[in-house]
Structure 1
């Protein structure tokens, strides 16, 4: 593990053609004032035109011109430097865009295995599918090949840069041999046209094309000049193309084009069926993103030259590695990266974090030369302490009774992983099975297995693997990797006895438990197979869990997050502290995230939905009433109402989480909600899917949602829901404040996704990539700074902001104060001790607190939890139908509770948010602070010993 020079806080910006380098530059003073030290940028290298995210890189050797010029980028980084800030850059080593905009891919499609770039891409040039040797299967057709051909959707066209096959927006280059042959034939015919004077250029062109190795590029320049100079040559060429492209209704007229296509280094195929034969590794199942062979040093150098230069110049001060699990050998890649960085000036401890989704109790390999993950592990731990564990258990009963399904989440994941293996990764599975079959043939205990048995074992063990992947890269198998593989194999043998013997053999292969008689080459083949399998398991988990199961299991969807465990009942505070102590020991500079560009819901949406666990009985009563009131609004499709019970519960929770705070945001909410629900339904793959969309179902779903939100007389649901959501919105906001403070002061580097410094009620992408109103944020922060300086302490300001909580300024104020305190005390929060604190009295179950200490410098973080439940339990609180009133808790709710301080802690404390000075009490030999004093004005407190 590195000892990096970390940021104090990062702010993630999603760059695209609508938000450029120049736009980011104007934000730098604001970000500095907010307390940020690093601008955390989405990928900035050249990507597909119009890319909304930058992950579809087309040229890693240049910056994306849609974001601005090199001078604009330099101006941005110089402005960052002037403000004491750096640039944390997201890079994409796993894949590139597969299309004509990518010159390396284009050259590979034109020249096949002979292209100097063919080895850059993870292509199987000798696949098991017949007829694909030396070719790449391109699943770009919207219908079967024969139909597309005879519908004249595939055409040969002549353009300034050569001969191409056109399929709507796709352009595919012809091989040099095909292009040269066609051009030579046209040139001969043109030279022999009667009644036309001879053209010396045509004679020269023919001589050029008849050479053993013709220069087609130069030849085409000559021909294109003739084409645009002589109308009769243009007429001739256009006629030839028209005839070549066939005539609808005359099948034999397409024979020439069919033959031409068969000569190319690519084979075009229907996207839906091609998944069984595709012979290049993709990013998950996205055929338009082709994976790179990053283990090849030439590929590494070619794709990282610009990135390393930016790091050498100091313009980039940190790197985020996207999808590290897609790499063949993540450790070797990261070691090579750090080696190249350390050779470029004083960068021996360059700040690098990896996008890695950890399973339960899984730890990032400690040998990796990185500072940690991008924070999904922290996100789920933090979110879990705001879920009431008793209430979550009651929600189990509601969910089971409503849906009739008793399946736990792990079973759902297993089932859906098997499903996506069959539907999305059939070709990858079959290729792995054939490779395993070759290994079995060389093993006296394995040669009796059929290919079907080996494939079944592959499916079972992959579907039961409890993590995204293992990291075996040599003949030494780490204990953690062995545990997960043995666990998966045992599950496969127990759950599917018929697959038991093959699972046992596969387990031996994956754990490299060789028989003595295998040669060194055969042993190396086992290792190659294992490393290839490791690249396969991550996409299966991502598509089976993240993009299917998380949209199917709807008990409490605030837990349905990347790397989350929706079947759990939250996380005890003690577990939060345990994980934080491990974090400070092993990964003190990992990212602390709460919202990202990939989260299923923003932090504020999750916080609202979490409140339902505090009021399970009231929630259940309302769900039952809403179902009755809305039953008549459900369209019937094939005799069944839409939506079903599971989807209906999902809709109600989504409304609770995302309902706008401001009236002006309601106008667009309906459109956002409908688009989100269609996406969620397709991801769930129950009634519709991306592979097989059902427009009738999707239309019925949209109709239902539109109907229940219509502000008409007699809409009892909408009337009650709007009252109910005010309660969940209020207590969700209080929880969000607690999340923000814990993120800032816990071990790790706090990260803020664009716009989340105010309330942000975004759903999954593309909803969370909507433009951010930065002008308002800049204005509000300037006003808050001025008011804070005038207040000279902040108590009145804090109370005023909390009373006006819907405008979001209270969140902005908290973040501003806490981040600036953290920036002023960097060492305290990076190297200071982490000391969990307990409370006494009734409030002990509603408090999360810890101290940070570095020598004589101390800070205390104190956050209230589950305030809706505490309000209900407070005897003086008025509760209607099991719901708490909205309004900050009176001091008497905490009157018997105190925070127990460490023995050697100071006796005098300053509240950063309110300016109040608190003196510790001495009770029963312990120093304490009354919780009633700590939470007198705000539901959170950040104290310093200064």
Structure 2
């Protein structure tokens, strides 16, 4: 292949019935004008009807007709080609929809293990439960099976593709050898009917043909079966005698509500199928197919099987080879049996060599953390050693260009959190309702809860597999199954990362370290599990005994590789979807891939990570908001400001709690909300409160929905399995009451006054993050609509429609204004900053920086990364670096922790106000704020610079004694760099 392309920037679009490929095609000119080089699409393969996100694929061999299908896709790719733009496609190799719309899945339900697609899906056909052998447990019923049956909710009907059983619009097919029983026509033609109606000859011929169908694996079977069911459907519609016979049979089988005995035939019919319909709530203890996390509607596939790989990837590979798709994002890489083998096969099919660098592929991978060091004082946090928030790295053997960007998201977000302030927020949190447990202990408990509630069946299956291994080992033979299951639970609950990647009999140091640490932690927390854990440890580390055969060694390896597919979902449900809704010290840190109890990121740590990224994975994605983030980048930036003003926050929090106690309802003898949830509410308001009064009513509805989701995810007083509507109603009622604009509610106006500070300084922090994302090593990614202020919460809130026409009109106006020359550009930058609430300032920054990046690809894709130091009393509030390739230079300068800087702790920029006073809400520009602060330029840096954002020209000066720099050094005064705009992108002249 020759069409290998590395994007300069990506823009993520979410496709669904409300935003199709047609709309995306019309959007291409705007994205090109914005400076984007590659469109980044959510899954485009055929998904379930009405899918809101595309991850529930039902047919990977077709483009989604609901999005416009092949014709619309061709229109989009042609529009991209005309502007030399690429298309990065999100694909889902791990799972498909467990839906009758999925013809492969439907065939498995109809024919069971005999289906040629039975091996496509990760199904245990011989589970431990009696009566489930050869069947798939389907947890689709909202009540116990017997109740649903006798209430007439299970209805047998005929459709074009044969007989189906319907449950609330969810059809499941019936096996062909049940057809004679349905019609009451046994082998002898009577089927036990006391007075059978004459059987139409054509119907008897069809049933005879059904009896003579070839075996299911025969290539002629599908066409023969389709012909029979098609003719049966046509006969039913056109032949009155056939319709009468079938209708009478169905009526007799479907029973009469209130007459339990009338459902015996339907019950017997269902018992003979290749599936077992079950009540969804307890089904987590019995389900016998691997799911995407705990979502029973998504069934995992055997992507490691080459035949399955070819079937599920054929269309995607053809689109890539045709140059229509130029990059891939691999969803849920940790769900695969052997991620490295999958990625290698993918690259081999895409590049015909498998060599790397090859086709542009990034993996959705959440990297783990190691806690080392803590920065507790202003000096060390701002200028000294700090921790990089991401210490786990992608396996070096993976043929990918990097991750989808959560590691950068948490890195850059942590740069705008103040360490000492975060420590003080911890004290405030403990005074006002924090859980007693540390975050790490909370994670341990919630992972165990997730296993018990959501993954009981998977845990038992692993324990049974481990038991079979133990039976063959002299040191494991006398371990009881419950001991082994306890060991499985404990080690997974203590596991520090999402998974290991052992794939053969060679263990890496990385994987050994994580396994040893987990087992050691179990020994401390649960000494009673030590013997079973020690055996499990030996298996996970493949510490074979001398007498083990090769087959036994392979059995151990297979267990480990299955185990590895399970640890990630437990981590996700225990941490991302539970602990991060319970631990509310500073919720802007509660993000996918984040570590809420970790110290912030220092400037030095930020530079270290960027330099390492440039060396190892220079084209990894840099994200700040995604479809999966808990909060948008702008919401997080606002909440981060609380770490800079903890004294002010503590005072308001105390006052608000006093004022709002009267709005709390009593539920189970508890006031709702408790202190922990109340802090989540206030921080959410700080982060997501709209800038316009007319948006408040809609925001209140969004807030209500969010709080219910947050409470269910936390799982303390309500949950998804058993929602407590009384608690949820009390929670929402509290939030709506405190936001009532009535005169006897002092909270709302006081909150709005306080939130003005977090909104303003959060906006400044957001601008800094945008520029860092665009100019740091990596590929900057923009989530739909975030080029303006976006105050979205977790999905589905972050999937609301985006007004692209308004954005396009704003951009056109900005481009017209900037065409007036340097003076016009400077005036425009100042004007946009003054009117920051409109959001045009963020659009302007994004547009100017992306265009500069697109026009200088070598500078940012492979250019050197050179940290630049600052001098002055507030030097720790400055993050600066240069990018260089040859004679081309760019200099990036952003401020950080500005609210702290301007309350008196940053030298001349401070106001001298007492602790707890709010910082000023005027632009932090020029000599009055930044006088006495200098950038110490690298020795070879140019002396002349042009500000890409404002058009201003700057000249470096010789370093004076105040700069504490070597003789002959050059400096740039910060007052000049930030004369008109609070962040700077300078081009060397």
Aligned to 2:382: none
Deviates more, 1:335-344 or 1:482-491: 335-344
Aligned to 1:801: 832
Once the 2 structures are TM-superposed, how far is the Cα of residue 167 of structure 1 from its aligned partner?
A: 0.9
Aligned to 1:906: 942
Q: Distance in 1 between matches of 2:438 and 2:920?
A: 34
How does 1:834-849 map onto structure 2 within 5 Å? 834-849=865-880
SS of structure 2 residue aligned to 1:89: strand
For the Cα contact (< 8 Å) 1:602–1:763, is it kept in 2? yes
Aligned to 1:931: 974
Match of 1:707 among 723, 729, 737: 737
Q: Distance in 1 between matches of 2:142 and 2:166?
A: 14
Q: Evaluate the alpha carbon distance shift between residue 737 and residue 223 of structure 1 in structure 2; reply closer, same or farther with a 3 A threshold.
A: closer
For the Cα contact (< 8 Å) 1:493–1:504, is it kept in 2? no
Q: Evaluate the alpha carbon distance shift between residue 613 and residue 207 of structure 1 in structure 2; reply closer, same or farther with a 3 A threshold.
A: closer
Task: Mark the runs of 5 or more structure 1 residues left unpaired by the alignment.
Answer: none
Whether 1:504 aligns to 2:534 is yes
How does 1:886-905 map onto structure 2 within 5 Å? 886-890=921-925, 891-905=927-941
Once the 2 structures are TM-superposed, how far is the Cα of residue 777 of structure 1 from its aligned partner?
A: 0.4
Once the 2 structures are TM-superposed, how far is the Cα of residue 234 of structure 1 from its aligned partner?
A: 2.6
SS of structure 2 residue aligned to 1:185: coil
Q: Evaluate the alpha carbon distance shift between residue 876 and residue 646 of structure 1 in structure 2; reply closer, same or farther with a 3 A threshold.
A: closer
Aligned to 1:824: 855
Aligned to 1:690: 720
Once the 2 structures are TM-superposed, how far is the Cα of residue 204 of structure 1 from its aligned partner?
A: 3.2
Q: Distance in 2 between matches of 1:406 and 1:911?
A: 51
Q: Distance in 2 between matches of 1:880 and 1:494?
A: 43
How does 1:650-689 map onto structure 2 within 5 Å? 650-689=680-719
Deviations 1:562-607, CA, capped at 9 Å, x for gaps: 0101112311111111111110011100000000000000000000
Deviates more, 1:384-393 or 1:187-196: 187-196
Aligned to 2:41: 41
Match of 2:561 among 526, 531, 536: 531
Q: Evaluate the alpha carbon distance shift between residue 221 and residue 621 of structure 1 in structure 2; reply closer, same or farther with a 3 A threshold.
A: same
Once the 2 structures are TM-superposed, how far is the Cα of residue 199 of structure 1 from its aligned partner?
A: 4.8
Q: Evaluate the alpha carbon distance shift between residue 522 and residue 731 of structure 1 in structure 2; reply closer, same or farther with a 3 A threshold.
A: same
For the Cα contact (< 8 Å) 2:5–2:326, is it kept in 1? no
Deviations 1:116-166, CA, capped at 9 Å, x for gaps: 100000001111121111111111111111111111111211223211111
Aligned to 1:140: 140
Deviates more, 1:723-732 or 1:657-666: 657-666
Deviates more, 1:246-255 or 1:542-551: 246-255
Once the 2 structures are TM-superposed, how far is the Cα of residue 419 of structure 1 from its aligned partner?
A: 0.6
Deviates more, 1:142-151 or 1:89-98: 142-151
Which 4+ residue blocks in structure 1 deviate beyond 6 angstroms? 190-198, 344-348
Q: Distance in 2 between matches of 1:375 and 1:560?
A: 16
How does 1:333-348 map onto structure 2 within 5 Å? 333-343=342-352
Q: Distance in 2 between matches of 1:228 and 1:190?
A: 24
Q: Evaluate the alpha carbon distance shift between residue 453 and residue 112 of structure 1 in structure 2; reply closer, same or farther with a 3 A threshold.
A: same
Aligned to 1:201: 202
Aligned to 1:18: 18
Q: Evaluate the alpha carbon distance shift between residue 909 and residue 218 of structure 1 in structure 2; reply closer, same or farther with a 3 A threshold.
A: closer
Q: Distance in 1 between matches of 2:953 and 2:640?
A: 33
Q: Distance in 2 between matches of 1:650 and 1:198?
A: 68
Q: Distance in 1 between matches of 2:207 and 2:499?
A: 57
RMSD: 2.1
How does 1:412-427 map onto structure 2 within 5 Å? 412-427=442-457
For the Cα contact (< 8 Å) 1:180–1:209, is it kept in 2? no
For the Cα contact (< 8 Å) 1:744–1:819, is it kept in 2? yes
How does 1:745-784 map onto structure 2 within 5 Å? 745-784=775-814
Match of 1:330 among 326, 339, 345: 339
SS of structure 2 residue aligned to 1:336: helix
Q: Distance in 1 between matches of 2:125 and 2:117?
A: 13
For the Cα contact (< 8 Å) 1:188–1:206, is it kept in 2? no
For the Cα contact (< 8 Å) 1:312–1:344, is it kept in 2? no
Aligned to 1:130: 130
Q: Evaluate the alpha carbon distance shift between residue 513 and residue 33 of structure 1 in structure 2; reply closer, same or farther with a 3 A threshold.
A: same
Q: TM-score, normalised by structure 1?
A: 0.97
Q: Evaluate the alpha carbon distance shift between residue 74 and residue 613 of structure 1 in structure 2; reply closer, same or farther with a 3 A threshold.
A: same
How does 1:585-600 map onto structure 2 within 5 Å? 585-600=615-630
Whether 1:110 aligns to 2:110 is yes
Deviations 1:354-375, CA, capped at 9 Å, x for gaps: 0000011100011100000000
Deviates more, 1:664-673 or 1:802-811: 664-673
Deviations 1:183-202, CA, capped at 9 Å, x for gaps: 47189459999998885424
How does 1:137-536 map onto structure 2 within 5 Å? 137-183=137-183, 185=185, 188=189, 199-205=200-206, 207-209=208-210, 211=212, 217-343=226-352, 349-360=358-369, 361-536=391-566
Deviations 1:40-65, CA, capped at 9 Å, x for gaps: 00000000001010000000000000
For the Cα contact (< 8 Å) 1:342–1:348, is it kept in 2? no
SS of structure 2 residue aligned to 1:105: helix
Q: Evaluate the alpha carbon distance shift between residue 393 and residue 211 of structure 1 in structure 2; reply closer, same or farther with a 3 A threshold.
A: closer
Match of 1:866 among 864, 876, 897: 897
Q: Distance in 1 between matches of 2:504 and 2:850?
A: 43
Q: Evaluate the alpha carbon distance shift between residue 524 and residue 199 of structure 1 in structure 2; reply closer, same or farther with a 3 A threshold.
A: closer
Q: Evaluate the alpha carbon distance shift between residue 108 and residue 840 of structure 1 in structure 2; reply closer, same or farther with a 3 A threshold.
A: same
Deviates more, 1:772-781 or 1:637-646: 637-646
Once the 2 structures are TM-superposed, how far is the Cα of residue 406 of structure 1 from its aligned partner?
A: 3.9
Q: Evaluate the alpha carbon distance shift between residue 36 and residue 638 of structure 1 in structure 2; reply closer, same or farther with a 3 A threshold.
A: same
Match of 1:717 among 737, 743, 747: 747
Whether 1:917 aligns to 2:947 is no
Q: Distance in 1 between matches of 2:226 and 2:409?
A: 54
Task: Mark the runs of 5 or more structure 2 residues left unpaired by the alignment.
Answer: 216-223, 370-390, 960-964
Q: Distance in 2 between matches of 1:179 and 1:828?
A: 69
Once the 2 structures are TM-superposed, how far is the Cα of residue 180 of structure 1 from its aligned partner?
A: 4.2
Q: Evaluate the alpha carbon distance shift between residue 583 and residue 439 of structure 1 in structure 2; reply closer, same or farther with a 3 A threshold.
A: same
Q: Evaluate the alpha carbon distance shift between residue 917 and residue 284 of structure 1 in structure 2; reply closer, same or farther with a 3 A threshold.
A: same
Q: Evaluate the alpha carbon distance shift between residue 445 and residue 580 of structure 1 in structure 2; reply closer, same or farther with a 3 A threshold.
A: same
Q: Distance in 2 between matches of 1:418 and 1:190?
A: 52
- Across the two proteins, how many residue pairs are aligned to each other? 945
